Amino acid sequence: MRNYDVIVVGAGSLGVPTAMALGEMGIKTLVVDKKPSPGQGENKHAIGGIRATHSAPAKILVGLRSLEIFAHWAQIHGDDIEWMQGGYLFPVYRSAEETALKGILPIQKRLGLNIDFYDADTICDLVPGINPRRLAGGTFSPEDGSASPLLAINAFYRKAMAFGVDFAFNEDVKSLNMKDGKICGITTDGGIINAPVVIDAAGAYSTALCETAGIDVPVTPDSHEGAITEPVESFFKCMVVDLRPAPGSKNYYFYQNLHGQVVCCITPDPPIVGTDKRETSGFLPQIGARMVELLPRLKNIRVRRVWRGLYPMSPDGSPLVGWNRKARGLFHATGMCGQGFMLGPGIGEVVARMVNDTTTDDDNTVMDEFSPYREFGGQEALK
């Protein structure tokens, strides 16, 4: 019989850094995943952008902490995770985006973010070749950046293992087990595993997981497609986010990674709800048309590969982090809305402190804002 203090369901963007943080506290932790190795769910579909420049305080707080972890990982732990401090750029071509972006600048600055609105010339310097027609400027946050989700999750995985965390791969969780209204473990296709705490880090599959215990968690996956190009000599470093909507899509974003490859992704409109991850023929023409309009020289870069991944969406676009009130011992760390990779390390630490009951003042902001029991009224401005 396998017994643990904590079981984390999902070896993905949230599960692995959370387990790493738990392991560091000496908590006997097991991570279970149906896939054969870490990050094989949606983590590997992330394009690698990491930012703290959100619009809500909790996200900014965990974003800053995540940035710190990513930015210093190689220095502290020695593994290259391809961190690149390229910044995030939101170019502005219309008053709608200008108003929205300028509207959140005060709170971003108040929380200590290095971000400002820059004029068109500065934007043109940051992204050589960007379409200057009607370019009114944009916000730029130089301390944001990017890293390789593939390398990062494996680095976190090795670190977690070093802290004594166990991983059970190729093991499919069949149910959450309850006893007297409390979580007592899980049943997998490999048997029963006992633990008083189970962390739901199942992302797009949280709903199905929690349903096994009669728990309803408001996570609805939708899908986004991404692409990566051949590598070319580096000519820009920042993540470019074009917030303008177009027929069939909302925003799209891209950057040039450390290898010189341009990586991009688009937000379909209306959302494509469901867990279908099969590639569609519509994506490349759709994002291609928008990218070559914004940055015409990209017409000559050759696309190498496409994929489709899931955003586990919460009702309001913010993560769901906290204890379940019905099933004691069940902890939700899910609904990352496509930001699991960038928020994972920061949120993982908060989760570990909550499980270990050693939370800080800042954690209260996070706990309130990300509470699964909050009012789902608003919408994150920079989802």
Where does this chain bind another protein (CB under 8 A)? 35-40, 44, 128-129, 131, 133, 150-151, 153-154, 229-233, 235, 260, 276, 278-282, 284-285, 288-289, 291-293, 296-307
Q: What tokens does 131 get?
A: 């379409």
Q: How far is the CB of 91 from another protein (least distance, A)?
A: 15
Query: CA 368, 373, 379: angle at the middle one, nearest 5?
Result: 75
Based on CB atoms, which residue is closest to another protein, 265 or 354?
265
**Residue 110 CB neighbour total at 10 angstroms:** 10
Q: How far is the CB of 213 from another protein (least distance, A)?
A: 29
Q: How far is the CB of 11 from another protein (least distance, A)?
A: 11
Based on CB atoms, which residue is closest to another protein, 210 or 291?
291
- The string of DSSP codes covering 221-257 is EEEEEEEEEEE------SEEEE---BTTEEEEEEEE-
Based on CB atoms, which residue is closest to another protein, 189 or 276?
276
Based on CB atoms, which residue is closest to another protein, 211 or 276?
276
Amino acid at 292: V
Q: How far is the CB of 137 from another protein (least distance, A)?
A: 19
Residue appearing with tokens 């007592």: 184
Q: Are 242 and 294 in contact (CB under 8 A)?
A: yes
Q: How far is the CB of 128 from another protein (least distance, A)?
A: 7
Q: By CB neighbour count within 10 A (0-12 exposed, 13-18 middle, 19+ buried), where does 43 fall?
A: buried
Rounded CA-CA distance 61/338 in Å is: 17
Based on CB atoms, which residue is closest to another protein, 218 or 288?
288
DSSP-assigned letter for residue 84: B
Q: Are 30 and 193 in contact (CB under 8 A)?
A: yes
Q: How far is the CB of 289 from another protein (least distance, A)?
A: 4
The CA-atom distances, in angstroms, between 305 and each of 10, 44, 226, 228, 229 are 26, 13, 8, 5, 7
Rounded CA-CA distance 102/106 in Å is: 8
Q: Are 343 and 336 in contact (CB under 8 A)?
A: yes
> Helix or strand or coil: residue 296?
helix
Q: How far is the CB of 353 from another protein (least distance, A)?
A: 29
Rounded CA-CA distance 326/319 in Å is: 19
Q: How far is the CB of 152 from another protein (least distance, A)?
A: 10
Based on CB atoms, which residue is closest to another protein, 299 or 326?
299
Amino acid at 163: F
Based on CB atoms, which residue is closest to another protein, 170 or 358?
170
Based on CB atoms, which residue is closest to another protein, 95 or 300?
300
Based on CB atoms, which residue is closest to another protein, 184 or 246?
246
Based on CB atoms, which residue is closest to another protein, 44 or 353?
44
Q: How far is the CB of 36 from another protein (least distance, A)?
A: 4
Rounded CA-CA distance 66/18 in Å is: 12
Q: Is the dihedral of CA 242, 243, 247, 253 positive or negative?
A: positive
Q: How far is the CB of 346 from another protein (least distance, A)?
A: 22
Among the listed residues 85, 46, 116, 51, the one whose alpha carbon sits nearest the alpha carbon of residue 237: 85
Q: Are 23 and 29 in contact (CB under 8 A)?
A: yes
